[in-house]
Structure 1
Amino acid sequence: MRGVKKQDLPQKNCPVCGRPFSWRKKWEENWNEVKYCSDKCRKSKNSRSF
């Protein structure tokens, strides 16, 4: 992903909050498994109440 502009990075929508989130370097190895935009959404995946 080197040399790619931020606006051209892959994006996904968080199933909990519905917000789009972009690829991050720390997710390079497992981008296909990433589902949630943050730890807060990952922890509240069952309750869905913010």
Structure 2
Amino acid sequence: MKGPAPRSKKGDLPEKICPVCKRTFAWRKKWERNWESVKYCSKRCASKRQTV
């Protein structure tokens, strides 16, 4: 019998840097399908982004 799949540790998750607050943020399950297009760490930073 196979047990549950091994879970990854938080340190193993991919990270990005938010261009607004300059903090790093890690991959989240809700971003699984569109991780490549995620730019901001939160809705707050997305609303503060610079418009050109």
Same fold (TM over 0.5): yes
Q: Which runs of 5+ in 1 are unaligned?
A: none
Give 1 or 2: higher helix fraction: 2
Question: Which residue pairs with 2:12 in the alignment?
Answer: 8
Q: Shift in Å at residue 3 of structure 1?
A: 1.8
Q: Percent identity?
A: 57
> Under a length normalisation based on structure 2, what TM-score does the superposition of the two structures give?
0.82
How many residues get paired?
46
> Under a length normalisation based on structure 1, what TM-score does the superposition of the two structures give?
0.85
Off by >3 Å, runs of 4+ in structure 1? none
Larger Rg: 2
